[in-house]
Structure 1
Amino acid sequence: MATLPTPAPTRRLLPLLAAATAGLIAAALILVTLNDRSVAIGFVAAGLLAGGVLLGARRMLHREAVVETHVDWSVAQALAAASGDALAVTDRAGRLVCANARYEILFAGWPTPPSLPVSDAAVEALGVGARTAWRDGEALIDNIQVFGAPVSARVVRVGDESLVWRFVGVQALDLAAQVEGLIHGHTGDRLASAGIMAVMVTPEGRIRSANRVFKARAMGSPDAAAEGRDFTRLLITDSMGLVRFEREGLEGMPLRVLQIPFLDGDEAPMLVALLDEDNLALPAPAIGASASAHVRSLIAMLPSGLALVDRDGRFVSMNDAFVRAARINAAAPPLYPIDLVVREDKAALADAVRRFAGGAAQSAEMTVRFVDAPEEPVALTIAGARGLGDAAVLISLKDSGEEGKLKRQIAQATKMQAVGQLAGGVAHDFNNILTAIIGHCDLMLMRHSPGDSDYDDIQQIRANSNRAASLTRQLLAFSRQQTLRPQVLQLPDVISEVSNLLKRLLGETVRLEVKHGRNLGPVRADPGQLEQVVVNLAVNARDAMLTANPNGGGTLTIATSCVAAAEVRQMDDDVLPVGDYTALRITDTGTGIPLDILGKIWEPFFTTKEVGKGTGLGLSTVYGIIKQSGGFIFADNVPGGGAEFTIYLPVHSAPEAVVAKTPVKPKQIDLWGSGTILLVEDEDMVRAVAERALTRQGYTVVTAENGEVALETLESMEKPDLLISDVVMPSMDGPTMARRVRARYPDLPILFMSGYAEEQLRKSIDLDNVAFLPKPFSVQQLAEAARDVLAAK
């Protein structure tokens, strides 16, 4: 017991006050620790009597000399040392008068209450408790966290001179530290010699201490660092429910796992003992209720979702991980496993539980769908449970919320990519067909004049072919294979160009509002395709608003704004990279997008409109154009009703090349030409149309059906004036053939034609001075492209 000298009062009253103080402190300690008022009063009386005797003797002997008297703390020391709590005494001035050894151990020294090594909130609470004790005589402060354990403090006023501080709950700290030391030390080695592997585990399942034999078996070395490791990851369970060390594998010795409760409370560490299971030939004996409770406690701390089911198919217990993964309402848990799954999976799950409850030796895996999330299949592992009391079946599942979400996103992305590839391939084949149809229509129109009986029919065929061509462009836009002509532009200029068209499309009942922000950065995009994006979104918004309110219409708001990199960083979005963007928001006042279809609106051919009123390619086209332009688009519902589409286009910061202004040349109407053209095209109908069109313009045309035939043809002819080739062909593609031709004729002009996007094909074309003509094209467009390439020669 540590003590400090107290200041003396007047010399004559010092003995009486000293004895009285010691008696009061001793009485307070008895009252705090033993709660015995009669004994405490006896100590007070004894102190006063001793003080009176001393004072009388002093007067009789007439000793006027100054006597240095100290308080006798021997009784208080004995009582404090006998207490299992941490005790301290402070005087009126707030100084620490005395404290017991347990106080020193708990707070690592002799700090003065309330200024203890605890949190600021706890120090403040202790200060309030001290003031309350001075005023009311007693105070209680609960749940003070000392080194991670909850401790309560009781403060009692002794007379008007002292406070007695008692800290309750430190025994758990002491006992846990003692057990941890025993496991580490000689006692742990003695347990090891008896074949007992001892581990202390935190409530989170982390190893706090382990003896040497456990480290040797579980980690391969008795000196391995086990502290902080996940205890459950060192163990595995086979199909028979036997536990082994993960390091030893299924051939290792089975283990019996026992939890030894030595502390109460959810935050207390757990002591786990592992024993080798020697006799496996006999059936596993039934275990008692106490051991069964220990097994369930062990299951409760495992991170995997586990549940025990009895022979009648009812739940016996389930851990927190199972409750979270199965989305179970803790207030009303289900009685049977089949209550968790959809109707189609009930029979299979009930049959599996019945089979393993009857003694099936193997485990089985099956996929089910929970009622609360029928779109997310979940894998269950079902096995028989031997020797666990009422439990007969063990069901485990993994809480794969984030993992499942990621898998669904990857599956969605894979599906969209596959559909995009299919759409691109279909669009390419259609472009070849449409090129032939449009070309033949152009050739026929050259032989018919307006007023002819066939002229209108040919024009109708050509118009329908152009409509089909626009449909293929939508497919290519979705699959990001459309040929774009990007320019550096300002979004307000694009909105201004398309605003008049929007007013006509929206009608009289829908009001258009346009708002532009300041300091908008330039973007690089195809203005025509960007206008199509705005028109598609505006038309969808109009239909949604008229559906919600056929008479009143609504308001369509188009707003642009500047989004700096700092704002993007604050968004903390996983999809949008940090950078400077110019944003375009299109908001309507309709009913919004239902949450169940919000994730499907970008898919091709998905539409909520009636049959015949929508192709389902509008939003998929928008998505493809924005992504091909390097931007991002998001759809969401706004509070109060309505949908909002936000487009982020990166600010174009590259310096623009200075182009000298030259007078605009008048468009040449004469398409007549001369020279030899080598035409390479694998589609017979396209090759025939192109050959006839170029021949009619005065060119000499030599054809080849693929790249290999073209190279053979070049060996037997003079140098051509122009090479026109398809890009994607069997045997040898266009770029490979063109490289070989350039090796022989370095200055030969080349015109590529293809139904795929130019941006996509440029990656595989490493040649200079190459022109590109997208399919489908008309006879006039082909003639103009050939003339322009030859003119630039």
Structure 2
Amino acid sequence: MTLTPASPRLLLAIVALVGAITAVLLWQAVGDARFAAGFVATMLAVAAVGLVFRRERTAEVAPPATDWTLLGQALAALPEPVAVADREGRLVCVNPAYGEAFPGLPAPQAALPGTAAGDAAKAAWRDGVGVAEAGGRTITVTRAGAAEDHLVWRFAPAPAEARARRVAQALAGEPGRRLGLAGVMAALVGETGRLLAANPVFLARALGDADAQPAGRDFTDLLAAGDDDRIRIAAELTPGAPGDGPDPLRLIQLPLGEADAEGATLVMMLDEDGRVATRPDARSMATVHVHALLGMLPLGLALAERDGRLLFMNEAFERAAGIEPGRPIVYPSDLFVREDKGAVADTMRRVTNGRAPSSDLSVRLAARADEPVSLTIAQAKGLGEASVLLSLKDNSEESKLKHQIAQATKMQAVGQLAGGVAHDFNNILTAIIGHCDLMLMRHAPGDSDYDDIQQIKHNSNRAAGLTRQLLAFSRQQTLRPQVLQLPDVIAEVGNLLKRLLGETVRLEVKHGRNLGPVRADPGQLEQVIVNLAVNARDAMLEKGGGTLTIRTYGVGAEEVRELRSEVLPVGDYTALSVADTGTGIAPENLAKIFEPFFTTKELGKGTGLGLSTVYGIVKQSGGFIFADSKVGQGTSFVIYLPVHRAEPAREEAPPPKRPRQDALWGTGTILLVEDEDMVRAVAERALTRQGYRIVAAANGEAALEALALLADAGETVDLIVSDVVMPVMDGPTMATRARETHPDVPVLFMSGYAEEQLRRSIDIARVHFLPKPFSVQQLAEAARDAMALKA
């Protein structure tokens, strides 16, 4: 019997009832009420002790830990190397394939050359999944675990290696045996000329044993040239016989690698006038067998007559060529674009006439003109009416993966460039805005120059807004994340949306139930919604109006798993969908919409930073964004934000509010460190006007020298105001060195980078941040607040 939570109470009640009945019987039998009462008390005490013991035993049961042995047994069945590493990169679980691929069991990042593996790991920690290519393998790294504190590494072989493995398995299995019944010998030869696999008929004739192990043998040693210089099997040569032996062989070579790269080669060998062809109707039987066997191979293969007509295509060939069901294909050239038809036909003629044993072409299919494919054309004599064998590699998945990697690399490079440009531009804007503030202190409203100075400052603030958008795209802006509900954010921005959309666009808002909370900056999320709504409005105005639908709904881990997305990690999300009924986005532009400065609007009607800002905010918030569009029907953007699961006890308490001080005047010595002369000059003048004594330095080393001179003179420094990124010695290094001699001095960092990013990389106590660009008043307030908190 399994006790429910109410069972202990029921047990105690039963004990009490039985004790009461027993006490009455004892009282009647003995006549002593005190003896009966003592008996009942003893029974209740024993029952209570038993319940307490049971609860202690239950409380001692610890939650189950991760069974790495069980996980290792589950991974052992996978043919590809798989490893699980913790946050420090240490291996905690691997499968046998990993040990075979990487002897000594090194950490994944140390097992591969270059930095691709490290970049994939960084992408996985940031986005949930990372993909790279290194060491001839495709690496997929996924963030996993209940606390998302582990990485799962999967090492898939390169496409060419994967094809070679499938062909080797086919030759050693039933397809290879049936090839032998058709009189076809086949062998898979590696780059160095050594055998990787072969079908039983070739092993029987070349090695005398159909079950022999071919791996590692030199393929050329198994063949020999007779007196007539024709190739035969070396084991079958008979000295003194005409031509030195049996019938010569015709070799057909099918490279499995790329056209311009080395790789394994499938060699098929047929007897020129062999024993199979001596039987009646053997040629037709061989053709039937060959067609059936070619249909089983994973390679895209086709046979053509001497005049170029197609005789046979297997399913892999049809799939790789993108042939639609019911579409008549007579000649191979019908599959390719008009510019490549002549090259294919000419190559087939040369191969048929014996002027070229085989040839590789890079051609474009009519079904996918934007993706070149590799076509191999080889002789196929001895296969009935067939004269030419064509091999087409289905590299659509490989091309898709390469495109995704290239796109991710491009977006990362553009983001780094945008962040660098914004950082440098912020220094210029800081100087312009600061000088405007200093000039406004000398001009009162009504002066002839006052309005001009205000206009310069207004335009500078607009430019600062553009730099913030660039920083948002490069995920370097300062965020103030908090736990919130998406419907609340949409409600806050609802009235603004109605004014922005106008009379011709109808707004519909739908919210799902049981939405999980998310952790993000509400102001930035409002900007995301507004940017998407404005783009949707412009697209719908071209059609005279439409409907904008904003919807929120929950997406569970099981639903994410069913999506089978290579980008979205499995987990619980709260989704935000923004869909319009506008003109849509052309397919050729859909992959570029998140790039900065890309816009399809007319000149002067858009900066091209709206969607790039949306992309950066979503990614910096730990989310994912996808776009889907149909021309003429509309566009839909879906944002997935992970559900926030942190315990309330772990939430950081908000800093105590300090009473606001209106006075900006102060006293004390400030060490100002800034490598940009214009920014240093503005900051020095601004702080001097507020009553501070300023000691300026152009870099970290000069600042430490100035600090030492002040110490020798018996003077103290009340505040260090420093830039973060500087040549020779950066701000954090300088501050750390300064704290060795001045442990109590507060530090105020000026930077255009995100405060959260800087706090993670700077391990210094009592540090304050001032984002660039800033005004003279903001600098004075930041200096006052930092000095007020001096320990």
Per the normalisation by structure 1, the TM-score is 0.62
Residue 106 (structure 1) aligns with: none
Alignment partners' CA distance in 2, 1:232 and 1:744: 80
Q: CA deviation at 1:698?
A: 1.8
Alignment partners' CA distance in 1, 2:420 and 2:170: 63
Q: CA deviation at 1:276?
A: 6.2
Q: Is residue 419 from structure 1 mapped to residue 411 from structure 2 by the alignment?
A: no
Residue 752 (structure 2) aligns with: 755
Task: Mark the runs of 5 or more structure 1 residues left unpaired by the alignment.
Answer: 1-198, 220-225, 236-243, 257-273
Equivalent of residue 784 in structure 1, options 766, 777, 781: 781
Q: CA deviation at 1:254?
A: 4.3
Q: Is residue 635 from structure 1 mapped to residue 635 from structure 2 by the alignment?
A: no
Equivalent of residue 433 in structure 1, options 408, 428, 433: 428
Q: CA deviation at 1:711?
A: 2.5
Deviation track 1:511-557 (CA, whole Å, cap 9, x = no partner) reads 22333344333321111111101111111121122212x2xx23323
Residue 746 (structure 1) aligns with: 743
Alignment partners' CA distance in 1, 2:219 and 2:707: 71
Alignment partners' CA distance in 2, 1:742 and 1:503: 54
Q: CA deviation at 1:588?
A: 2.6
Alignment partners' CA distance in 2, 1:469 and 1:781: 15
Q: Is residue 399 from structure 1 mapped to residue 394 from structure 2 by the alignment?
A: yes
Alignment partners' CA distance in 2, 1:200 and 1:696: 83
Q: CA deviation at 1:349?
A: 4.3
Cα distance change, pair 307–660 in 1 and its aligned pair in 2 (3 A): closer
Residue 586 (structure 1) aligns with: 578
Cα distance change, pair 731–316 in 1 and its aligned pair in 2 (3 A): farther
Residue 767 (structure 1) aligns with: 764
Cα distance change, pair 691–518 in 1 and its aligned pair in 2 (3 A): same
Deviation track 1:339-395 (CA, whole Å, cap 9, x = no partner) reads 323344445545544554454557554432212112222233344556667655543
Cα distance change, pair 662–415 in 1 and its aligned pair in 2 (3 A): closer
Q: CA deviation at 1:468?
A: 1.4
Q: Is residue 645 from structure 1 mapped to residue 621 from structure 2 by the alignment?
A: no
Alignment partners' CA distance in 1, 2:461 and 2:437: 12
Equivalent of residue 175 in structure 2, options 181, 205, 211: 205
Q: Is residue 444 from structure 1 mapped to residue 460 from structure 2 by the alignment?
A: no
Cα distance change, pair 568–638 in 1 and its aligned pair in 2 (3 A): farther
Alignment partners' CA distance in 2, 1:334 and 1:206: 29
- For 1:768, the aligned partner's letter is A
- For 2:546, the aligned partner's letter is G
Q: CA deviation at 1:403?
A: 2.8
Q: Which has the larger radius of gyration?
A: 1
Residue 679 (structure 2) aligns with: 686
Cα distance change, pair 357–569 in 1 and its aligned pair in 2 (3 A): closer
Cα distance change, pair 393–733 in 1 and its aligned pair in 2 (3 A): farther
Alignment partners' CA distance in 2, 1:641 and 1:476: 33
Q: CA deviation at 1:747?
A: 1.9
Alignment partners' CA distance in 1, 2:311 and 2:397: 28
Deviation track 1:583-602 (CA, whole Å, cap 9, x = no partner) reads 32223333444445444332
Equivalent of residue 725 in structure 1, options 722, 726, 729: 722
Alignment partners' CA distance in 2, 1:731 and 1:314: 71
Mapping for residues 603-682 of structure 1, pairs under 5 Å: 603-636=595-628, 641-656=633-648, 667-682=660-675
Contact 1:323 1:330 in 2 (8 A): no
Cα distance change, pair 681–338 in 1 and its aligned pair in 2 (3 A): farther
- For 2:367, the aligned partner's letter is D
Residue 501 (structure 1) aligns with: 496
Alignment partners' CA distance in 2, 1:462 and 1:539: 27
Residue 325 (structure 1) aligns with: 320
Q: CA deviation at 1:762?
A: 2.6
Q: Secondary structure at the match of 1:648?
A: strand
Q: Is residue 477 from structure 1 mapped to residue 469 from structure 2 by the alignment?
A: no
Alignment partners' CA distance in 2, 1:750 and 1:699: 15
Q: CA deviation at 1:315?
A: 4.1
Cα distance change, pair 597–660 in 1 and its aligned pair in 2 (3 A): closer
Cα distance change, pair 643–693 in 1 and its aligned pair in 2 (3 A): same
- For 1:668, the aligned partner's letter is Q
Contact 2:751 2:772 in 1 (8 A): yes
Alignment partners' CA distance in 1, 2:307 and 2:592: 43
Alignment partners' CA distance in 1, 2:610 and 2:424: 21
Alignment partners' CA distance in 1, 2:516 and 2:430: 39
Residue 688 (structure 2) aligns with: 695
Cα distance change, pair 663–474 in 1 and its aligned pair in 2 (3 A): closer
Task: Mark the runs of 5 or more structure 2 residues left unpaired by the alignment.
Answer: 1-168, 190-195, 204-212, 226-232, 238-242, 251-270, 278-282
- For 1:790, the aligned partner's letter is M
- For 1:516, the aligned partner's letter is H
Residue 467 (structure 1) aligns with: 462
Q: Secondary structure at the match of 1:374?
A: coil
Q: CA deviation at 1:311?
A: 5.7
Residue 151 (structure 1) aligns with: none
Contact 1:200 1:209 in 2 (8 A): no
Alignment partners' CA distance in 1, 2:429 and 2:381: 71
Q: Secondary structure at the match of 1:759?
A: helix
Contact 2:323 2:367 in 1 (8 A): no
Contact 2:479 2:521 in 1 (8 A): yes
Contact 1:431 1:775 in 2 (8 A): yes
Deviation track 1:142-178 (CA, whole Å, cap 9, x = no partner) reads xxxxxxxxxxxxxxxxxxxxxxxxxxxxxxxxxxxxx
Alignment partners' CA distance in 2, 1:561 and 1:322: 43
Alignment partners' CA distance in 1, 2:382 and 2:558: 61
Alignment partners' CA distance in 2, 1:363 and 1:470: 61
Considering only aligned residues, what root-mean-square deviation do their CA atoms show, in Å?
A: 4.1
Alignment partners' CA distance in 1, 2:626 and 2:170: 51
- For 1:590, the aligned partner's letter is G
Cα distance change, pair 640–666 in 1 and its aligned pair in 2 (3 A): same
Alignment partners' CA distance in 2, 1:727 and 1:703: 15
Alignment partners' CA distance in 1, 2:202 and 2:394: 20
- For 1:789, the aligned partner's letter is A
Q: Is residue 378 from structure 1 mapped to residue 373 from structure 2 by the alignment?
A: yes
Deviation track 1:289-340 (CA, whole Å, cap 9, x = no partner) reads 5456655554443221223455655545433322211112464444444432
Residue 248 (structure 1) aligns with: 217
Q: Secondary structure at the match of 1:602?
A: coil
- For 2:767, the aligned partner's letter is V
- For 2:678, the aligned partner's letter is M
Share of identical aligned residues, percent? 67
Mapping for residues 525-544 of structure 1, pairs under 5 Å: 525-544=520-539
Contact 1:233 1:246 in 2 (8 A): no
Q: Secondary structure at the match of 1:724?
A: strand
Q: CA deviation at 1:467?
A: 1.3
Contact 1:753 1:772 in 2 (8 A): yes
Deviation track 1:230-284 (CA, whole Å, cap 9, x = no partner) reads 969999xxxxxxxx9664344342499xxxxxxxxxxxxxxxxx99675799785
Deviation track 1:440-461 (CA, whole Å, cap 9, x = no partner) reads 2222222222222222222212
Alignment partners' CA distance in 2, 1:369 and 1:427: 41
Alignment partners' CA distance in 1, 2:701 and 2:362: 53
Mapping for residues 127-526 of structure 1, pairs under 5 Å: 205=175, 247-254=216-223, 284=250, 289-290=283-284, 297-309=292-304, 314-329=309-324, 331-350=326-345, 352-360=347-355, 364-384=359-379, 393-526=388-521
Q: CA deviation at 1:465?
A: 1.4
